Amino acid sequence: MDIILEAMALPVSNFLGMLLYAVIFMLLAGLIVSLVLKLIPNRLPYEVKSVIVFIAIMISLFICWQIIIKPGLNLMN
């Protein structure tokens, strides 16, 4: 358990921590997208639904970039 806690210390500087955070963020992104799809009314056109899902995915990727990837890149400098 100590290995997992050490690997997940921010900023992440090892492969195990990146893998664990990637799995967590994929699960959260999937949850966000499924909630968005469930809350979108059926009467909206397909294009509008696609744009809403795209925005939800981009927000998830942006959060992942800000929390995990950007601090890890700063460690390499």
Q: How many CB atoms lie within 10 A of CB 7?
A: 17
Q: Which residues contact 74 (CB under 8 A, 6 or more apart)?
A: 11
Is 0.85 topped by the overall pTM?
A: no
pLDDT band at 67 (very low <50, low <70, confident <90, very high): confident
pLDDT band at 77 (very low <50, low <70, confident <90, very high): low
* Domain positions in the chain: 2-76
Instruction: For residue range 10-65, list pLDDT tens digits in order.
Output: 666 777 877 887 888 888 878 877 887 888 888 888 898 888 888 888 887 888 77
Is pLDDT of 72 > 80? no
In the prediction, which pLDDT does 56 show? 81
In the prediction, which pLDDT does 30 show? 83
